[in-house]
A and B are shown apart, each in its own frame.
Chain A
Amino acid sequence: MTFTPSEVLQIRHSDDVVRVRQAVRARAIEAGLGLVDQTKIVTAASELARNTLDYGLGGTVLIETLEGSRCGVRLTFEDQGPGIADTKKALTDGYTTGGGLGLGLSGAQRLSNEFSIDSRVGEGTRVMIARWR
């Protein structure tokens, strides 16, 4: 199987969130995900892209196709923003430091098969999610 090679998208403006959604949707379709799985990962991507923009002060997302026994999509959001002091707290529903609903991180986790977060105060944040067939 030959898939699209991995790509990196910039997340600097709110228009970029739309672009990220479209790219992830195309990737999910290519990986053979069903409609519901597609919707889940695109929604998770939208949440994390907005977080990157709103809290991370802009950043990037690496979009990769997963091959092999677990065919799917992996996304890695990265920013050099203020970072998250307590990631555990940040992952609880409803917790928000902005005016949001506080569902971004925890929601993205629930919508994904795989989730990991790495954040250091003053350095930045990296969030990885993956969804497969």
Chain B
Amino acid sequence: MDRIPILKLGRALLVSIQAEMHDRLAKGLEEDLSERIVQTAARGVMIDISGLEIVDSFMGRLLDNIAGVARLLGASTVVVGMRPAVAITLVELGLSLNGVRTALDVERGMRLIGTVVIDLDDDEFEAELEARDDLHAE
């Protein structure tokens, strides 16, 4: 059975929802996320919807549900990557998504979960790569 993959990113769990989610997939996602949140003691759940051309009330309910479950398990939820056309339509539809925070992209979303993405400077980066090569050499 198809399951939507969940990635760990620091203290956050990242889920990318591509188009066309059927009900089975949605249910599976809720279950998997709940388990992973507890397993990893996640502080936040990031849901990337940049691949969604449509967000209807079914999807809205799913997002609210996920946020509700996450909150009970001690994690916050951030939705990122909403397309402009979708945002305009949601406002007209009357869907407010009050239970979730939103951010423009993954980096901003991570800040809302309390994690900052840092770029290493050149020396640190070199060192990092060398250490990795040493490991593989053995």
A interface list, Cβ under 8 A from B: 14-15, 18, 21, 25, 35-36, 38-40, 42-43, 46-47, 50, 93, 100-101, 103-104, 106-107, 110-111
Chain B nearest CB from A96 CB (Å) reads: 10
A residues near B57, Cβ cutoff 8 Å: 47, 50, 100-101, 103-104, 107
User: Which residues does B use to contact A, with CB under 8 Å?
Assistant: 20, 22-23, 53-58, 60-61, 85-86, 88-89, 92-95
Q: Which secondary structure characterizes the binding site on chain B?
A: helix
**A residues near B93, Cβ cutoff 8 Å:** 43, 47, 103, 107, 110-111
Q: Provide the bound-state CA to CA distance between A111 and B85, in Å.
A: 12
Set of chain A residues within 8 Å of B89, measured between Cβ atoms: 36, 39-40, 43, 111
Other-chain residue from A21, A35, A111 in contact with B92 (beta carbon distance below 8 A): A111
Could you write out 10 A-B pairs with CB less than 8 Å apart?
A14-B23, A38-B85, A39-B53, A40-B92, A46-B54, A100-B61, A101-B57, A107-B94, A110-B93, A111-B92
Contact A42/B94 with A14-B22, A18-B20, A36-B85 known, Cβ cut-off 8 Å: no
Taken together as a complex, chains A and B put the C-alpha atoms of A18 and B89 apart, in Å, by 18
Chain A residues contacting B53 (CB-CB under 8 Å) are 25, 39, 42
- In angstroms, Cα B58 to Cα A101, docked, is 8
When the two chains form their complex, are residues A110 and B85 in contact, meaning their CB atoms are under 8 A apart? no
Among residues of B, the one whose C-beta sits closest to the C-beta of A107 is B93
- Distance between Cα atoms of A15 and B58 in the complex (Å): 14
A residues near B61, Cβ cutoff 8 Å: 100-101
* Given known A-B contacts A93-B94, A110-B94, A111-B93, A43 and B56 have beta carbons under 8 A apart: yes
Nearest Cβ in chain A — how far from B62, in angstroms?
Answer: 11
CA distance A110 to B94 in the complex (A): 9
